[in-house]
Structure 1
């Protein structure tokens, strides 16, 4: 088959193993226990990384917890380091890979994958098979790369740089370590160990994409993880020849264990450094101007623009809520920062509008006051959606695939109308508001169809639907309330 196809199979196998393990119950309970102390984070993070097979996935989860205010910067970084260390143990499993094992797991996984209730186990078993098959093909095809890349005798510093690039590119320290393991005959022990160390640092770059997409906290977490791993990997690189007896697997696991344990005494210092490099921005009104109060028409226009900011924050809350429902990960904590923004801006708009009303006695002040209150209430409703789902998951329950898709479809519909309302509110576009209101009958029919579909699943005796029916109906009703609030706001836009 060849080296590169084998690498593709191995990466796919690692992904499928992680997907298969993702359904294990109790992860949220383990995560809750990890909140207690740094030692708890190390132990629980290591176990969670081992169960998931993905340190990168937990780096992104740590970012979400940091953004939601559940973890401080040091705790989020420590969770990422510990989970990556736990996941690094999977390279030891890869090293055991044989062609016979690959065939065994692939054949065993087929019947479980076909059986709906055993599909997650089937995905895990197929992933194990592909993982072993990919590593076997990589090992057999490694020598074909010798003439192409001329990597023989690669000095440690160059191997470290190649590993850093591969870790960043693949987003998987395990994948790069498995690659180094397969290339030992070609690179030599020292070159393979250096490549492994570099990949363990380069995998921090998985956070660059969230950072570039505007998630400010990702820059903090990226800076801390990259700087810490880089600082403690370089001494290991200097003594790479002395680490040769440990082999690629041993150095891979040791490196991530060193990064985790050395972080503990430095946790507070890293938090301080992160805050200095990326200071927290406080939420404050962008358009409300005290000087504009002397010109009421200008002041009312500025209030409308500020309300547009509040509506955008509510829209972002709902978008996050839909994502949380889709991934079945996360909770209310991820919405706290946005909800705080909604609350603070709403308060400022209300106080500003009250001052305007005192000066002008204009009926518009009342409408803006009502609009601000309505937006704040929508934020509370969105949080309720996530709270209900989070309570369900804490019990080890999940919605049926059809029920989950219905809720996601409803959430996307509400999000679409909320986006149009936010644009209409910010710009005063009455046609946009009127267009959203014109769909009331169609939306009502859609919600009724979802209710009937849920009732049909209950009548057919679907166990998942029976177990989650109260949460399902509560979320559906809450989304209806959000729709009703959006419609009231659209009517207010028509009156402005």
Structure 2
């Protein structure tokens, strides 16, 4: 029981350290700088892993950023690998910690926790103290584990045990801590083999996410698993060289996983695409044979148009989320915008052919509506581009300015949702409802509010004024585009 209780304290300590540093503003700066290139993902991933102690947590963050299009496959993989390598430095603390240090850290954490302004650092030192205390407790309760561990013979068996434990706990650091305790009790090289196996096993974090319905986790997890498996297979025979240095193998293994992935990222990306290919965006409703039946062709084109409108709405939802969290990039909208562009292209060709055959003015209106929606998608992307440009300069919107922008975006989103419903159902009352809302005075009020903040000399308002006004004007353009589309719906 001592061993399991110690393991629980160890994992809880890692979790508290990670949570304490999660809200650190410098973490966001490091992350944003790491999103620009594979090299950035590698360098800043190492730094973030070392600061947070949670390679698995940052791996899931990399997956989330891949899912929304902020990171490419190579960048997400490098960020996940580098973060795990960086987090390995926390195992080094176990090798140098002295008796009694954990109590001092826990007492310090308790006092800091009692002061609200310092509470985050309280969690940090409490986590660090629990990390060391857990390791000590694991050592005191090691006897039952030793009986099982001595049965582990051979590098291959040790590797498989590490693979299983790493997959079960999702923490290479926890297995490395166990290996540090066992190294003198096992045959030479077995503890080091456990560490190498654990590095491969921690990929289970992505597999659990995939089983939860996150399909992109398969595309990221499978290449990472195969890469780690391949590299560790080459390293395993070499553990005879320095079989007792667990910390060296723990850090070296994860560092090599990271550095060797970079030149191979293109290969692994193709492997992921080959195993789990992404479906090409194609029209769902347009059929060439329906062009011989104009009424059917018009109905199908209208249904496809509502699909484009729904994608533009999703882009706007994502942009509102980016503005609200003040975190994200224009690239997060790329996949959705490509879908809008692809479907619009097909719609334009389809409706132009229908207009040529029938001369029906409704086909022309659908042609215009498709082009308008494509333009709205470009404008939504511009909103995020302007915000991203501001944040890259280290600036932020004032709380009042941010609230106004979110208010404007929410209004546009509400109108766009009703427009999409009107396109899908043919409900003219919804289109009339959109047209009945006058947007000019609403946006003028927001502009006047911004001017008052400028006149008051608010520093954040002055620093962000150009980006604020550009986004506000862009949202007003989107709002006007929605009104034009509502008018076209009434004319269909």
Gaps of 5+ in 2: 153-157
Is 1:81 the counterpart of 2:81 in the alignment?
A: yes
CA contact (8 A) 1:65 1:333 kept: no
Is 1:465 the counterpart of 2:461 in the alignment?
A: yes
CA distance in 2, matches of 1:243, 1:433: 74
1:243, CA displacement in angstroms? 5.8
CA distance in 2, matches of 1:256, 1:278: 26
Is 1:493 the counterpart of 2:476 in the alignment?
A: no
User: Which structure 2 residues correspond to residues 90-129 of structure 1 after superposition, within 5 A?
Assistant: 90-93=90-93, 96=97, 98-104=102-108, 107=111, 114=117, 122=118, 125-129=121-125
1:391, CA displacement in angstroms? 0.6
Instruction: Identify which of 149, 155, 163 aligns with 1:160.
Output: 163
User: Which structure 2 residues correspond to residues 171-186 of structure 1 after superposition, within 5 A?
Assistant: 173=171, 177-178=173-174, 181=177, 185=181
Cα gap change, 1:103/1:482 in structure 2, threshold over 3 Å: closer, same or farther? farther
Q: For residue 10 of structure 1, what is the aligned residue in structure 2?
A: 14
CA distance in 2, matches of 1:297, 1:396: 55
1:315, CA displacement in angstroms? 1.9
CA distance in 1, matches of 2:147, 2:461: 59
More off after superposition, 332-341 vs 414-423: 414-423
1:288, CA displacement in angstroms? 1.4
Cα gap change, 1:78/1:13 in structure 2, threshold over 3 Å: closer, same or farther? closer
CA contact (8 A) 1:30 1:44 kept: yes
CA contact (8 A) 2:81 2:257 kept: yes
Gaps of 5+ in 1: 115-121, 168-172
More off after superposition, 423-432 vs 237-246: 237-246
1:382-441 superposed Cα distances (whole Å, 9 cap, x missing partner) = 111111011111111123445445434543443344233223312323344445556x26
1:92, CA displacement in angstroms? 3.0
- Per the alignment, in what secondary structure is the counterpart of residue 478 of structure 2? helix
User: Which structure 2 residues correspond to residues 320-399 of structure 1 after superposition, within 5 A?
Assistant: 320-399=318-397
- Per the alignment, in what secondary structure is the counterpart of residue 245 of structure 1? coil
Who wins on radius of gyration, i.e. which is larger?
2
Q: For residue 170 of structure 1, what is the aligned residue in structure 2?
A: none
CA distance in 1, matches of 2:318, 2:207: 20
CA distance in 2, matches of 1:395, 1:186: 50
Q: For residue 227 of structure 1, what is the aligned residue in structure 2?
A: 226
- Per the alignment, in what secondary structure is the counterpart of residue 279 of structure 1? coil
Q: For residue 258 of structure 2, what is the aligned residue in structure 1?
A: 260
CA distance in 2, matches of 1:337, 1:253: 36
Q: For residue 155 of structure 2, what is the aligned residue in structure 1?
A: none
1:109, CA displacement in angstroms? 7.3
- TM-score w.r.t. structure 2 length? 0.80
- TM-score w.r.t. structure 1 length? 0.79
Q: For residue 200 of structure 1, what is the aligned residue in structure 2?
A: 199
Cα gap change, 1:53/1:13 in structure 2, threshold over 3 Å: closer, same or farther? closer
Q: For residue 428 of structure 1, what is the aligned residue in structure 2?
A: 426
